[in-house]
């Protein structure tokens, strides 16, 4: 299973549409981690290839029907997804790995900070894809691609900057 993970599009569905133009046919799921989860519908209306999409509500999303926390099955691996604004991230990501372990999850994906981040903490993959529209830190608009191979219990996580134009988007690997 190949998963596109995005966050913090903040009403700029065009950046999401560009990412989907590039990747929509090659992924089996789209996870939107909040603050612009309605942009998924707008990107779909733009004609972008659209895999099944799953989202959570962020601190600026108004759709109360969206969950604050969601469990996602990535080919037999439980992944927790949340925006992140309800977790004490100023103290690091240990609260996320603890929440994931308590739920029996292999990973916790979050947004909110607009900064790409990936680490393994206590056997839990912690991922923030950054922001597709309002990036912070040294990288531009960013996203993650997560591979969940059927023959492995691991997740393969790669972070990318979205570069180029909306009509000709490209990916550039983010290296920490």
Residue the block writes with tokens 């550039």 = 172
The pLDDT assigned to 28 comes to 97
Q: Cα dist. 12→49, 119, 133, 172 in Å? A: 17, 28, 6, 20
User: Span 2-173: which CATH code?
Assistant: 3.60.21.10
Question: Is the distance from CB of 155 to CB of 146 less than 8 angstroms?
Answer: yes
The pLDDT assigned to 79 comes to 97
The residue-averaged pLDDT of 160-173 equals 92
Question: Is the distance from CB of 58 to CB of 82 less than 8 angstroms?
Answer: no
Q: Which of 133, 139, 136 is nearest to 43 (CA)?
A: 133
Residue the block writes with tokens 């309800």 = 86
Q: How far apart are the first and last CA of the chain?
A: 25
The pLDDT assigned to 61 comes to 93
Mean pLDDT of the chain: 94
Q: Each residue of 107-160: pLDDT tens digit? A: 999 999 999 999 998 899 999 999 999 999 899 999 999 999 987 788 999 999
Q: What are phi and psi for residue 91, nearest 5 degrees?
A: -100, 10
83-93 burial, b if ≥16 CB within 10 A, otherwise e? Answer: bbbebebeeeb
Domain locations along the chain: 2-173
The pLDDT assigned to 89 comes to 82
């Amino acid at each position: 299973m190949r998963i596109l993970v995005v966050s913090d599009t903040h009403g700029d569905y065009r950046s999401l549409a560009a990412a989907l133009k590039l990747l929509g046919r090659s992924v089996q799921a789209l996870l939107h981690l909040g603050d612009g989860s309605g942009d998924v519908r707008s990107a779909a209306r733009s004609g972008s290839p659209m895999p099944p999409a799953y989202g959570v509500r962020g601190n600026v999303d108004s759709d109360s029907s969206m969950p604050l926390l969601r469990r996602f099955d990535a080919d037999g691996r439980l992944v927790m997804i949340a925006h992140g604004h309800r977790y004490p991230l100023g103290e690091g990501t240990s609260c996320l790995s603890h929440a994931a372990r308590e739920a029996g999850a292999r990973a916790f994906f979050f947004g909110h900070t607009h900064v790409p981040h990936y680490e393994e903490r206590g056997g839990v993959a912690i991922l923030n894809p950054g922001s597709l529209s309002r990036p912070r830190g040294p990288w531009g608009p960013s996203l993650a691609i997560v591979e969940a191979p059927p023959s492995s219990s691991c997740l393969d996580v790669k972070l990318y900057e979205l570069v180029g134009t909306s009509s000709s988007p490209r990916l550039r690997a983010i290296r920490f």
